[in-house]
Structure 1
């Protein structure tokens, strides 16, 4: 092993991967100067970086500064040349995106069109269509496509819509059509704006749509002429607010409005799903009323039909529903397990064992449950990745690899991630696997794990289940009476070991703590209240994350499934999902209403199993690890 790592070091010696701290400090100074338009005054810095992998980042920063301060035709030519010369350089792409709006402001229509991509989004698309108009074109179809959208479009679309109006292409029919789309998208403000552009007789129709869409209970009084799709939209909203009353309304409403079979199916689907996700037996009734010929491609509804039957232990229904699944769906591990489980519950033990046996060889949540059913040890199926030097050479030949390495060394993680995407773009599976090993050698665990998935290689557990920050995990797990394998499992599931990651909801760091939650936990632990930035420090995040995880376990009397669900979705939601009677935990987990949380709990339990093996712990079988779900938890937690 020592010789292997020496070989790696020798492989990188003499390349930019061996850049030293002094050179990186020079780059930092040069980048700051370029971003402030002062790099020309620091020729000494530029000279020292001629061979540095990130040298072109300086040129991009200079061009961006000039673009912000003095955009002109000569600069446009320079930017065009830079982008053309560096098509795979992330700052070149960022420069292009920032350049486009300045081209529009300066009427540089031809250059704007030449540099706009289909993937740039609606604002760029509107600019491009306007460019065609300004250049004398007649992009009627493209302009109308921008109009026929049920949401507010960006300001860049206004000139396009003005052109449509001037061409006489936005009559009452077109305005009414968009108002209808806006209602169906829930954009009621836009709907009212459009209604004001209509004559009174047309406006009354929009008012009728808004009446039921905004106040769905008004469907009880809806007239026969109501648009069917609007009625279905309003009905779905009504079901979310008052499920039982919506169910009672289904038949009279469908008959009064003479809804077609597709519309009726859509309404029944909503009722069935909501009853299933509320753990109500009415779900089985509504699924039975659905036209299953329309459900062949509806994996979501098919799954919930089975889950509802599982929840109410209607095992023959489970078997029938799984037998009716399309083969590709029926072959998923979840349904293979529940097929066997249902057969076992019906006394068809040998058939169940036949299904359990191959599934028990899988390293997965449902594979482990199958092994438990057979009283077998778990199969971890570890197969370390073999070094493939030609494939590795294909990765190392990419300049983006050097840039990604340097950006990580500089602490510029987001930019490094963009470069990593350039590294792996277009690689074959063998090269992707070697790229994953390189990222692992850099301790860049998130990229290593994700890249190995792209390579469709699943059995190198050293790469897929690393144990970084081990000292902190062990210390704080011990302080909170937690299994370190559980902490690693939560950390992997939450962040893929990225200490600075922030979610769209504001959760921060390795264990994805909301700042407010972290402060409450710190107060309970008599620890220093952390700032949001402090939560990116691994030791602080792990200390507070393990404290919160311990609180969740305490709240649910040590039930690890409920604690995991609470960590993801919040304890208040879990309180609402408690059953009326004691319940098998695997049935409860299978029926967690939120797909994200259901998958989260299953992944956490599966990951914990592997980490127990990686940490040389005794592997605790799932049927011993996960306790029964009790409605009395609700009584216990009310006073906590």
Structure 2
């Protein structure tokens, strides 16, 4: 059911016209359309948009009726939010108190506290003051709506120095140094100097042992706790010495010392510094390790082919971690390297039955065929399913009128409420409607991984195949990138600014566009599937050229950028690619590369009925100098 696949029905056309009438506030037309559409599936949307756009002139009783009648729809929460903003803007505080429900918005929370303090009962005032104190201390930036609450706390003499210090501590932890200095305006001149010294210590951690004596009390302790881990990134030995020398004089308790020891070890590990191995082992063998410190100890061991160390470190992991595909594979690799072929072979055989990255690698070690284990297609009674779930009726109509983004919101709220035993049917329906991200999410919620055709759809086949041929890269690899980046959501935008199916950064799109003669690099243009695939595929070709067709390095660079890959491969002795992948410092990129390689293998099977072995696509990484066996 693609958008605009069929001519609009009379009701669908009327719905679109009603929305246009609402935008121009044509009351006569709106009334007529409401009458015409009152039995239409999207009628609540007509009401919602009318009330939202014309909130100033909509009677409160009308809004209350909507909130009660449609309380099961997400539209009810959205309208309540608009109404609360209107009530605050027009200073209708008693009404605000009456209709407020807990909100995520800090501004709406502050409006509620302001209304409670000004117009609430004594109990409401007391509760609001306490909550407002807690909220203020947690704010990175103070919204305009919260200024009046801060003023109220001052007037009520509920604004304390401890609140200021707590917020300053948070701001410095978040490296919001200018805001921390601004927050110190409520302190004495002497305390302002303390804050400035504290900030200088954290900014320049090499000064820890020198300047920290200029401040005292809890500020010195906090400055030390915050600065030492940063110092460890530059000089782990100095950080360790500082901890040993000043932990007791500065009043650190045992828990704080252990926490800093872990942070020092991890900071050195992130850059694979020489000291990292000893620091991690010291933390972990004393029983003070965490899941992260143990994992990093294992990562360092496998990066350096220290197989005995790796086996010993795996034993420190929780049983759940040890039983994961990842560490079962690496246990087998370590045992194989140490000459225990029989045990390794048994582990590989078990893993090779799985359709995932480690299953494929394990199959390669003992030359077994890959197991894809697909589930049979699900029988679907589409009519019964749509009848049972009104949300599906709304989604179908939203798709028909090309309100695709709104349909996505409906999916978001709908899927968590589906009966678990019906999620596979919902996924089947979503795929039929070409709603691929929601088919994938349905199966994820159901924890059903074997419905390959639902989890790995192949839309946009023409531009994918065309650009694969044009750029001399695998179509399956393009699909693998798309599947990991966007799960086939054409309109998605990341918090970092990446856009569309292949999550291309606009800056990258402009660079690649100039190379291939494509000037369609605006954010809007990048949401167009064909254009996004052309630019993303050309970027994959660019990375392939940069890394001599090494798919592992190119995939890592697609996620983390070439500059990161350069750091991770600088002065690297030759290392098996599977070892390099699992020693990538960034967890996101480490998981990304494994997922894309796995997905590419699956897509190859779906597209061509055959696959290329991972081992044939993962050449060793690094210089030609061979690592000595340890």
Give the TM-score taking structure 2 as reference length: 0.91
C-alpha contact 2:360 2:614 (8 A) present in aligned 1: yes
C-alpha contact 2:236 2:275 (8 A) present in aligned 1: no
Q: Which moved more, 1:175-184 or 1:410-419?
A: 175-184
Q: Which residue of 1 aligns with 2:463?
A: 472
CA distance in 2, matches of 1:595, 1:602: 11
CA drift of 1:125 comes to 1.9
CA drift of 1:99 comes to 1.2
Give unpaired runs (5+ residues) of structure 2: 626-630
Q: Which residue of 2 aligns with 1:309?
A: 301
C-alpha contact 1:150 1:183 (8 A) present in aligned 2: no
CA drift of 1:138 comes to 1.8
Q: 1:168 to 1:519 in 2, by over 3 A?
A: closer
CA distance in 2, matches of 1:617, 1:387: 24
Per-residue Cα deviation, 1:43-87 (whole angstroms, up to 9, x for no partner): 5544443332212211111111221x446xxx2221121111112
Matching residue within 152, 155, 173 for 1:184: 173
Alignment map for 1:130-529 (pairs within 5 Å): 130-134=114-118, 135-136=120-121, 137-139=125-127, 140-149=129-138, 151-221=140-210, 222-223=212-213, 225=216, 227-240=220-233, 246=239, 249-254=242-247, 257=250, 259-290=252-283, 298-387=290-379, 389=381, 393=384, 396-529=387-520
CA distance in 2, matches of 1:289, 1:42: 72
Matching residue within 622, 627, 638 for 2:619: 627
Q: Which residue of 2 aligns with 1:84?
A: 68
CA distance in 1, matches of 2:414, 2:248: 59
CA drift of 1:286 comes to 0.8
Q: 1:396 to 1:359 in 2, by over 3 A?
A: farther
C-alpha contact 1:392 1:431 (8 A) present in aligned 2: no
Alignment map for 1:556-571 (pairs within 5 Å): 556-571=547-562
Give unpaired runs (5+ residues) of structure 1: 1-7, 9-16, 634-640
CA distance in 1, matches of 2:192, 2:97: 38
C-alpha contact 1:35 1:64 (8 A) present in aligned 2: no
Q: Which residue of 1 aligns with 2:84?
A: 100
Per-residue Cα deviation, 1:228-264 (whole angstroms, up to 9, x for no partner): 2331212223334555654564433446535333233
> May I ask how many residue pairs the two structures share in their alignment?
614
CA distance in 2, matches of 1:443, 1:109: 46
Provide the secondary structure at the position in 2 that maps to 1:290.
helix
Per-residue Cα deviation, 1:434-486 (whole angstroms, up to 9, x for no partner): 11111011011001001111012111111001111111111110111111111
Q: Which residue of 1 aligns with 2:628?
A: none
Q: 1:630 to 1:477 in 2, by over 3 A?
A: same
Q: Which residue of 2 aligns with 1:49?
A: 37
Higher relative contact order (CA 8 A, sep 6+): 2
Q: Quick check: 1:612 aligned with 2:600?
A: no
Give the TM-score taking structure 1 as reference length: 0.89
CA drift of 1:40 comes to 2.4
Provide the secondary structure at the position in 2 that maps to 1:613.
helix
Provide the secondary structure at the position in 2 that maps to 1:309.
helix
C-alpha contact 1:315 1:342 (8 A) present in aligned 2: yes
CA distance in 1, matches of 2:241, 2:9: 71
C-alpha contact 1:212 1:218 (8 A) present in aligned 2: yes
CA distance in 2, matches of 1:183, 1:530: 39
